[in-house]
Homo-oligomer: A and B are copies of this chain.
Amino acid sequence: MTHTPLPRRSAEEQQRVEAALRELFDQRIRFNEVLGLRTVSMDPQDYRMAFDMRPDLVGHYLYGRLHGGVIAAALDAAGGNAVMLGIADRHGDETAEQVMHRFARLGTIDMRIDYLRPGLGAHFVASAVVTKLGGRVAAVQMRLVNDSGLLIATGAAAYIVS
Shortest C-beta distance, A33 to chain B (Å), equals 8
* A42 contacts partner chain B, Cβ-Cβ < 8 Å: no
Secondary structure dominating the interface of A = mixed
* CB closest chain-B residue, reference A139: B114
Shortest C-beta distance, A59 to chain B (Å), equals 5
* A120 contacts partner chain B, Cβ-Cβ < 8 Å: no
The interface of chain A, by Cβ under 8 A from chain B, is 24, 28-35, 55-63, 67-70, 72-74, 76-77, 80, 103-104, 107-117, 131-132, 136-137, 139, 141, 151, 154, 156, 158, 160
A sample of 20 cross-chain residue pairs with beta-carbon separation below 8 angstroms, ordered by A number, consists of: A30-B55, A30-B57, A30-B59, A31-B57, A31-B59, A35-B69, A60-B104, A68-B80, A68-B108, A69-B77, A109-B114, A110-B112, A110-B113, A110-B115, A111-B112, A111-B113, A111-B115, A116-B132, A137-B160, A141-B141
